Amino acid sequence: MKRVPIGVSARHIHLTQEHLEILFGTGARLTVLRPLSQPGQFAANETVAVYGPKGAFEKVRILGPVRKATQLEVSRTDALHLGLNPPVRESGDIAGSPGIRIVGPAGEVTVDEGVIIAARHIHFHPEDAARWGIRDKQRLRVRVGGERGLVFENVIARVSPDFALDMHIDTDEGNAAGVTTGDYGEILDD
């Protein structure tokens, strides 16, 4: 059995250093609230507000470390609340996506693009991928059990020596399947 732990990811934002300093002041640095499943990644103590055409969210958690591009990841339900129609994309693929206004304690910034619904994916260390014969970017099927069990289709395999085995879905997907962080799924053979 190819069991993989699942992490349910709530809305969050990744910032560039430039935007972090606009929002929190010159020389601002993110501080660690708690580590995440991926090595070196963390939920920061810092939060921002985000404003779309129809709604807003206060206290959106920033994930660190800083990135090359600012990116807000939301669920479809979150997107409807904001009044946006973002594409389902892999993290980092923000070209042509909607923008958002971001407000912090020291300032605000509006990005022209950067709002996505993260495509469901599994992070694999190369050893885990090799053990199960999985290639980077391969599309997988993952079954979860329970009262609302289902099979997730089109789960993208992401293989890197910087990764630890973990499947990431958003809150809409987790709620639909009755899955919470720490549950397990089974990768199905095609």
121-172: per-residue pLDDT in tens? Answer: 999 999 999 999 999 999 999 999 999 999 999 999 999 999 999 999 999 9
Write down the pLDDT at residue 37.
95
* Residue 98: partners with Cβ closer than 8 Å, 6 or more residues away: 52, 84, 85, 86, 113, 114, 115
Does the predicted model carry a pTM greater than 0.85?
Answer: yes
Alpha carbon distance 93, 116 (integer Å): 8
pLDDT, the chain, mean: 97
Write down the pLDDT at residue 46.
98
> What residue spans define the domains of the chain?
10-118, 120-188
Asked whether the beta carbons of 10 and 182 are under 8 A apart, the reply is no
Write down the pLDDT at residue 190.
72
175: pLDDT strictly greater than 90: yes
Alpha carbon distance 189, 43 (integer Å): 34
